[in-house]
Structure 1
């Protein structure tokens, strides 16, 4: 296996980790006003991801950095052609982080309600747009002979990519609902489990349609077929486990669904990293988009040393914050001065 293939696989792993971990973050945020009947419920929900969400975003930063270093032409074409979509995602991620930090700064209903809305919108938007982006990456975009994007933002909003966006949105919201049923206790746990099953009823046909469309048009093969079947089987099994009250198994299986689906997309994409819809010869591949062998060699040694350290640290974080959270764990808010009186 060449180093270009190694780094294609490593980038696929980084995106998989990001979608699995940040996926339930997005799901929790999207459900904040649905499952949270009052402020205490919503504080319980936010606290389930409070120690985790910013660490989960490290996977995105590393995936972007690895793409920039290993496949600079892929990175350059993505960030020029997908500029508006990626800018919207970036703004949403910033707004979401600010909302988490500022929501409890002022003890008024209006203040918290407005920041809650920011959390919901800034969770739904990336969950949708990441699917649209990867739908276009796998399906291809108009690239000319110089590997320049010659389309427009509207070209990215094609039916296949929009179906991909709906698929990731539903899978992430489902993943978040199962996570909440695993991490909370009491009435909110019961409601999260019930809602997960209802969301799953919509996620199954949508995800199946997207996987089938992808397999027929972009990746028909034995390996991709096996991955698609694994994703479908894990999704259905996860719903059954959640419905039976086996939240641990349910969360593991919805995570397995996202892993298999992401592996399916990258397998269907290979050896391209960004196909051209104008002429296949104009597409970017793992070969013509890659850095020099020397650069890839240095990166491989750095990744071999640092990756286990990062994985151990993040695993330890999840272990420390593994307990369930209930309303009894939420202290009463500390009264604060009105906004106009604060310095």
Structure 2
């Protein structure tokens, strides 16, 4: 099997896909979180300010989702087929809400009528909440496992089987994390009364996330008692859960000192560490079969050929710096507090 620096190609592609979805969760995560708070802002000026805080970057953030989905399809076509077949309903709902969110952002400021703006404000807020929740639901189903037959085909039962109590808890935890992440981002971009209100909302968001995270962690150990096997076999990996907890606790500490840039960095680090923990807990499995472990999808039985992976890894080596450079350029260009003018949303 082809390797690079001692790592086989399927594992390397697993890391690439994980990195892309981590980038998406960090970048679009604060978009969703900011949108989830939107109806908490009563003044039209405050809502416009919040929209313009994400206005220059929200569509660019979605590039990471497109690239991540393409990388998943190209590198692990078996997983792509099985996961999208099993999660057809949440993915279709996700697509619907992501369209409504985009339309809400663009259409809200086209008319001055209050009912028009309120309608799109509601659509924007609900869409943002549901997008964060659905991402968590999908992740929860991946952690829980799915009924897969020997051909890796989904043979689930009830129409809404994906809404298991555990997946709902993961969905709520994801929403809470993104709301905290979004509140911190808005605090970096706003001032005045909106800034003061966001300080209060940010404190609530932190409490909401920490409580949800504790419930989710406890529930995870109940339904998956073997989830910590990787850490028992490799004790040095225990540094990651410890780093995750410290990162989570550091966010409210820094926010209370109004060091919001540092808090945002640690909020981003928390998202990355949580996804890294998921990757370590699953690897080399990508999707557990709840019927028979032998039916599970792994990085090896789901991967494209080594030749295909080698070519795509070369493309990643060329394209990744360009995407990262573009992202850094955009955020550097639009840094600073939001100032409304005639071109604003």
TM-score over 0.5 for the alignment?
Answer: yes
| Correspondence for 1:278 | 291
| Correspondence for 1:124 | 129
| Correspondence for 1:83 | 88
Q: Does 1:99 align with 2:104?
A: yes
| Deviation (angstroms), 1:253 | 1.2
What secondary structure, in the 3-state scheme, does the structure 2 residue paired with 1:273 have? strand
Q: Does 1:47 align with 2:52?
A: yes
> In the aligned structure 2, how far is the partner of 1:333 from the partner of 1:58?
24
| Deviation (angstroms), 1:277 | 0.5
Whether the 8 Å CA contact 2:33–2:181 is kept in 1: the answer is yes
Q: Taking structure 1 as reference, are residues 54 and 318 closer, same or farther at Cα in structure 2, changes over 3 Å only?
A: same
Q: Does 1:267 align with 2:280?
A: yes
| Deviation (angstroms), 1:223 | 6.0
> In the aligned structure 1, how far is the partner of 2:311 from the partner of 2:272?
28
| Correspondence for 2:115 | 110
Whether the 8 Å CA contact 1:144–1:150 is kept in 2: the answer is yes
Give the aligned length: 330
Whether the 8 Å CA contact 1:194–1:243 is kept in 2: the answer is no
> In the aligned structure 2, how far is the partner of 1:160 from the partner of 1:227?
23
After superposition, the C-alpha distances for 1:115-136 in whole angstroms (9 at most, x for unaligned) are: 0011011100110011110111
Whether the 8 Å CA contact 2:188–2:336 is kept in 1: the answer is no
| Correspondence for 2:271 | 258
| Deviation (angstroms), 1:154 | 2.5
> In the aligned structure 2, how far is the partner of 1:333 from the partner of 1:18?
27
Q: Does 1:173 align with 2:213?
A: no
What secondary structure, in the 3-state scheme, does the structure 1 residue paired with 2:110 have? coil
Q: TM-score w.r.t. structure 1 length?
A: 0.93
Q: Does 1:149 align with 2:154?
A: yes
> In the aligned structure 2, how far is the partner of 1:246 from the partner of 1:254?
12
Aligned pairs (5 A) from 1:294-313: 294-313=307-326
| Correspondence for 1:219 | 227
| Correspondence for 2:170 | 164
Whether the 8 Å CA contact 1:175–1:255 is kept in 2: the answer is yes
Q: Does 1:56 align with 2:64?
A: no
What secondary structure, in the 3-state scheme, does the structure 2 residue paired with 1:259 have? helix
| Deviation (angstroms), 1:158 | 1.4
For structure 2, the 5+ residue unaligned runs are 1-6
Pick one of 237, 243, 246 that aligns with 1:233. 246
> In the aligned structure 1, how far is the partner of 2:71 from the partner of 2:225?
28
After superposition, the C-alpha distances for 1:244-302 in whole angstroms (9 at most, x for unaligned) are: 21111111111111111111111111111111001100010000011111110110011
| Deviation (angstroms), 1:219 | 2.7
| Correspondence for 2:31 | 25
Pick one of 314, 318, 327 that aligns with 1:314. 327
Pick one of 2, 7, 14 that aligns with 1:8. 14
After superposition, the C-alpha distances for 1:218-254 in whole angstroms (9 at most, x for unaligned) are: 5301466433332222111111111121111111111
> In the aligned structure 2, how far is the partner of 1:225 from the partner of 1:140?
24
| Correspondence for 1:205 | 211
> In the aligned structure 1, how far is the partner of 2:269 from the partner of 2:199?
18
| Deviation (angstroms), 1:188 | 1.1
> In the aligned structure 2, how far is the partner of 1:217 from the partner of 1:108?
55
| Correspondence for 1:331 | 341
Q: TM-score w.r.t. structure 2 length?
A: 0.92
> In the aligned structure 1, how far is the partner of 2:152 from the partner of 2:217?
27
| Correspondence for 2:3 | none
Whether the 8 Å CA contact 1:139–1:218 is kept in 2: the answer is no
> In the aligned structure 2, how far is the partner of 1:16 from the partner of 1:218?
24
- Further displaced range: 145-154 or 203-212: 203-212
Q: Taking structure 1 as reference, are residues 269 and 223 closer, same or farther at Cα in structure 2, changes over 3 Å only?
A: farther
What secondary structure, in the 3-state scheme, does the structure 2 residue paired with 1:210 have? helix
| Correspondence for 1:338 | none
